[in-house]
């Protein structure tokens, strides 16, 4: 079915549908915009407005004289504060007279093909007009001369609906926006489970599930970045919904700053979801003639379970959020020196590490923290983006040249938003950090946050970066951000605009990214915030990949990457093999498992390969070779979660090519137990009618059978040791933290 927007003759009902989903809105008796239906695609009803039920109920406040209509008891699209609804509003405004009551009535609409660009903000995009349709509903609070536009873009494919809102002040005095969410949707029942992806530094995006009860369930960040603690992504699903089947809706905020995603179940079991900039610490002064645009929220609706929901996000974020040269390209296999050397290196040492990496087939060497200014530990140097000539006598340019000459691309670490007080940059501009004057501010890892609300500050960092990038042909930049923001006060803003600091800060970060990617379109950016502290869709618009976590242990990474996969594509997941004992958890996960986990990501090595034995180096060479052969499939294929590490000792996932002729299954066992039951792992996404061959990576031959896809999906792949035996690595058997990769090929492509 095609993408359509039906508008009733009286312009009161708006029905967006692409066949898969329908989203229906209608004008309510008081002129506000109501939500009528959000779910599986339905035919266009002529009289849907008559489904709005109105009952006299006790303790009800009614905006229309002699009528029992109350906003409290209807489903709304963008509820405002101060009228007859007592739930969380999407919009709260303080007017010049101090009142906080608003009244926005529908006054028109626009419909166009494609999707608008959001100035200064990351957003999903279309490449041609027929990929999506955008309906803008215009509302006005006439008395206050305010105009509100609600943007709805529905995509032709999948259950995707993007939303955002803008407010324009046509009056003569400024107003204060106290809350302005990207999305609000009221659903008719709350029989859902709420899935959030939460944790902390080193254990990001763990799946946590709770059921919704009357009251509020929410996650958010007030840290100035989306955070390790909560990812700006929530799924609500029916209790029966599993990976393969059932209703679920995802809400993913394309934003990297403070956020709130909240579910409110009211007395009558209605559910209101709101998502957007966190109202705490936010206030925006909207001057006459100005417009405020919210970030975008991307909802995905499915009846086909969580794998289908994730796959929709993967494809959308891979193809229509990520941009530029690297969007469709498999990612270079890199060697990063951070866990190899930390701050202890010089040019020759780096070249030595890079040589071994290159010998193993790696393509890119990344120099991490410590190459600039007086940075010999984390107490000094941030802000001085000039090579430390004691360590790098030939500068970045010279080091880059040596790397390039030996056939390695070269990449560099920056932390553009931060400064140490012990730096020339800070000494020249002590007033360029966020802090409340005359009040000592907090440091985080000995560093302070530059005032990115100010263009001159961003310009000064940009100039330093371009000075390096114009001279050295870098292939990659790791953009780090290693502390949360406190004392969010800018010396450059007046008292009544201090509530804008957090949002202006992140807009400043986006603007610097945009300038750099426009000027150096071929540089691959990887975002990072002490690992995965800013792993969000906003960042993916600028940096196609993100360092997933500072916890690089192979076993921990299974959970982190599995959790991340609910909302983010494999091509975005920065994952490396690191040394053992692991520097975070001191665990000894075998080399094959470390690689078998990292290959479901961007893949690379975070260690000095020169410390490995000859046998291990051979193994690394085969891993790199394997990755080169299969990275396109691994990073861009259709990804399925098969068995969750949050529930099982054994976990598994797989990717399948678009034509279903090739698949790779990753199987991982945490602890080995004796005398275990036999296991069949049911695969997904294969062609039931194709016959497949199965190989394991490494020496072991799995089976000579050529099962059909239907057998592999319904009987399953035998993974127990009874048939497959155990894979040996370097003449050793592994029990704990063992893993296998199965390569599955349709017979004809053999």
Which residues of the chain form contacts with ligand GLA (CB under 6 A)? Answer: 338, 368-369, 413, 480, 482, 528, 530-531, 547, 550
Q: Is 638 helix (H, G, I), strand (E, B) or coil?
A: strand
Using alpha carbons, select from 283, 294, 293 the residue that is nearest to residue 494: 283
CB of 341 to ligand GLA, least distance (A): 11
CB of 378 to ligand GLA, least distance (A): 6
Integer Cα distance of 382 and 480 in angstroms: 11
Q: Which two structure tokens, joined as six digits, stand for 42?
A: 């339905």
Inter-residue contact 729 to 619 (CB < 8 Å): yes
Phi then psi dihedrals of residue 574, to 5 deg = -70, 115
**List of E strands, 278-384:** 284-286, 291-293, 296-302, 334-336, 364-367
DSSP β-bridge partners for residue 742: 665, 696
Using alpha carbons, select from 226, 224, 91 the residue that is nearest to residue 165: 91
Q: Is 666 helix (H, G, I), strand (E, B) or coil?
A: strand
CB of 610 to ligand GLA, least distance (A): 20
147 vs 369, beta carbon nearer ligand GLA: 369
Give residue 230's Cα distance to chain centre. 11
CB of 134 to ligand GLA, least distance (A): 38
Inter-residue contact 335 to 343 (CB < 8 Å): no
Inter-residue contact 178 to 283 (CB < 8 Å): yes
Give residue 304's Cα distance to chain centre. 22
CB of 574 to ligand GLA, least distance (A): 9
274 vs 477, beta carbon nearer ligand GLA: 477
Q: Is 142 helix (H, G, I), strand (E, B) or coil?
A: helix
Integer Cα distance of 265 and 267 in angstroms: 7
Integer Cα distance of 610 and 112 in angstroms: 58
Active-site annotation holds for 480: yes
∠ at Cα 344 (339, 348), nearest 5°? 100
**For the chain, give me the number of helices (H) and strands (E)?**
13, 40
480 vs 536, beta carbon nearer ligand GLA: 480
Which H or E run contains 617?
helix 614-636
For residue 252, what are the contacts with CB-CB under 8 A and spacing of at least 6? Answer: 232, 233, 297, 298, 299, 300, 313, 537, 567
399 vs 683, beta carbon nearer ligand GLA: 399
Question: Nearest to ligand GLA by Cβ — which residue?
Answer: 369
CB of 531 to ligand GLA, least distance (A): 5
Q: Give the number of other CB atoms < 10 A from CB of residue 143.
A: 11
Residue carrying structure tokens 């010999």: 376
CB of 521 to ligand GLA, least distance (A): 24
CB of 398 to ligand GLA, least distance (A): 22
CB of 202 to ligand GLA, least distance (A): 10
CB of 550 to ligand GLA, least distance (A): 5
Phi then psi dihedrals of residue 327, to 5 deg = -50, -50
DSSP letters, 656-697, are: E-TTSSEEEEEEEESS--SSPPP-EE---S--TT-BEEEEES
Which listed residue (369, 480, 551, 738) is catalytic? 480
CB of 255 to ligand GLA, least distance (A): 21
Integer Cα distance of 78 and 150 in angstroms: 8
Contacts of range 304-308, beta carbons closer than 8 Å, 24 or more positions apart: 304/244, 304/245, 304/246, 305/241, 305/242, 305/243, 305/244, 305/245, 305/246, 305/248, 306/235, 306/237, 306/241, 306/242, 306/243, 306/248, 306/566, 306/641, 307/243, 307/244, 307/640, 307/641, 307/684
DSSP letters, 517-541, are: HHH-TTPEEEE-BTTBTT-SHHHHT
Using alpha carbons, select from 255, 228, 236, 253 the residue that is nearest to residue 196: 236
316 vs 396, beta carbon nearer ligand GLA: 396
Residue carrying structure tokens 């940009």: 462
Please state whether the peptide bond connecting residue 581 to the residue before it is cis, i.e. omega within 30 degrees of 0: yes
308 vs 420, beta carbon nearer ligand GLA: 420
Inter-residue contact 74 to 34 (CB < 8 Å): yes
For residue 652, what are the contacts with CB-CB under 8 A and spacing of at least 6? Answer: 642, 643, 665, 666, 667, 668, 681, 719
Active-site annotation holds for 245: no
CB of 547 to ligand GLA, least distance (A): 6
Inter-residue contact 18 to 156 (CB < 8 Å): yes
Handedness of CA 419, 422, 427, 433 (dihedral sign): positive
Which listed residue (103, 369, 550, 738) is catalytic? 550
310 vs 482, beta carbon nearer ligand GLA: 482
Integer Cα distance of 503 and 507 in angstroms: 6
CB of 561 to ligand GLA, least distance (A): 16
Catalytic residue ranges? 480, 550
């Amino acid at each position: 079915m095609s993408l359509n927007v039906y508008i009733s003759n009286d312009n009161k009902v708006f029905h967006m549908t692409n066949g898969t989903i329908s989203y229906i809105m209608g004008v309510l008796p008081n002129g506000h915009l109501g939500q009528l239906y959000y779910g599986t695609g339905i035919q266009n009803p002529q009289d849907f407005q008559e489904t709005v039920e109105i009952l006299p109920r006790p303790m009800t406040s009614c905006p229309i004289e002699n009528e029992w209509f109350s906003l409290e008891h209807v489903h709304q699209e963008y509820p405002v504060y101060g009228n007859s609804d007592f739930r969380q509003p999407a919009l709260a405004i303080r007017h010049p007279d101090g009142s906080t009551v608003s009244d926005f009535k529908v006054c028109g609409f626009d419909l166009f093909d494609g999707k608008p660009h959001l100035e200064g903000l990351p957003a999903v995009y279309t490449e041609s007009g027929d990929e999506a349709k955008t309906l803008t509903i215009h509302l006005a609070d006439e008395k206050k001369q305010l105009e509100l536009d609600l943007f709805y873009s529905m995509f032709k494919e999948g259950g995707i609906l993007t939303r955002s809102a803008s407010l324009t002040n046509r009056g003569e005095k400024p107003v204060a926006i106290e809350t302005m969410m990207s999305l609000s949707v009221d659903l008719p029942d709350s029989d859902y489970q709420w899935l959030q992806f939460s944790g902390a530094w080193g254990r990001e995006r763990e799946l946590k599930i709770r059921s919704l009860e009357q009251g509020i369930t929410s996650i958010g960040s007030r840290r100035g970045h989306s955070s390790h603690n909560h990812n700006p992504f929530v799924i609500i699903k029916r209790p029966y919904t599993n990976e393969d089947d059932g209703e679920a809706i995802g809400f993913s905020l394309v934003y990297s700053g403070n956020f709130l995603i909240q579910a409110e179940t009211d007395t009558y079991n209605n559910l209101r979801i709101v998502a957007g900039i966190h109202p705490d610490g936010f206030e925006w002064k909207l001057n006459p003639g100005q417009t405020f645009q919210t970030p975008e929220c991307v909802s995905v609706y499915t009846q086909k379970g969580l794998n289908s929901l994730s796959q929709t996000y993967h494809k959308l974020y891979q193809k229509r959020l990520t941009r530029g040269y690297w969007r469709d390209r498999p990612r270079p296999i890199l060697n990063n020196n951070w866990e190899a050397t930390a701050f202890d290196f010089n040019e020759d040492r780096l070249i030595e590490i890079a040589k071994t990496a290159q010998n193993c087939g790696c393509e890119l060497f990344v120099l991490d923290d410590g190459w600039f200014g007086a940075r010999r530990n984390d107490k000094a140097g941030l802000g001085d983006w000039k090579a430390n000539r004691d360590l790098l006598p030939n500068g970045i340019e010279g080091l880059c040249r040596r790397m390039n000459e030996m056939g390695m691309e070269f990449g560099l670490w920056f932390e553009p938003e931060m400064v140490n007080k012990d730096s020339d940059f800070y000494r020249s501009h002590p007033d360029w950090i966020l802090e409340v004057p005359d009040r000592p501010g907090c440091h985080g890892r000995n560093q302070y946050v530059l005032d990115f609300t100010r263009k001159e500050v961003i310009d000064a960092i940009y100039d330093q970066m371009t000075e390096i990038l114009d001279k050295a042909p870098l292939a990659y930049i790791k953009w780090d951000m290693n502390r949360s923001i406190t004392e969010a006060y800018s010396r450059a803003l007046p008292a009544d605009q201090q509530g804008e600091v957090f949002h202006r800060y992140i807009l400043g970060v986006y603007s610097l990214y945009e300038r750099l990617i426009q000027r150096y379109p071929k540089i691959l950016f990887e975002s990072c915030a002490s690992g995965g502290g800013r792993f969000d869709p906003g960042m993916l618009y600028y940096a196609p990949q993100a360092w997933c976590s500072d916890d690089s242990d192979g076993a921990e990474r299974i959970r982190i990457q599995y959790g991340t996969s609910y909302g983010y594509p494999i091509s975005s997941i920065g994952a490396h093999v690191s040394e053992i004992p692991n520097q975070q958890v001191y665990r000894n996960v075998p080399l094959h498992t470390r690689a078998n986990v990292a290959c479901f990501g961007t893949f690379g090595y975070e260690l000095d390969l020169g410390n490995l034995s000859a046998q291990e180096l051979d193994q690394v060479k085969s891993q790199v070779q394997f990755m080169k052969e299969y990275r396109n499939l691994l990073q861009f294929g259709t990804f399925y979660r098969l068995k969750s590490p949050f529930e099982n000792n054994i976990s598994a996932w797989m990717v399948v090519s678009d034509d279903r002729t090739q698949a790779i299954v990753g199987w991982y066992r945490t602890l080995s137990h004796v005398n275990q039951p036999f296991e069949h792992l049911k695969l997904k996404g294969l062609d039931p009618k194709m016959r497949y061959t199965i190989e394991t990576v490494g020496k072991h031959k799995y089976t000579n059978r050529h099962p059909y896809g239907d057998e592999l999906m319904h009987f399953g792949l035998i993974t127990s040791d009874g048939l497959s035996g155990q894979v040996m690595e370097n003449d050793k058997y592994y029990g704990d933290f063992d893993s296998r990769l199965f390569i599955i090929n349709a017979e004809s492509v053999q």
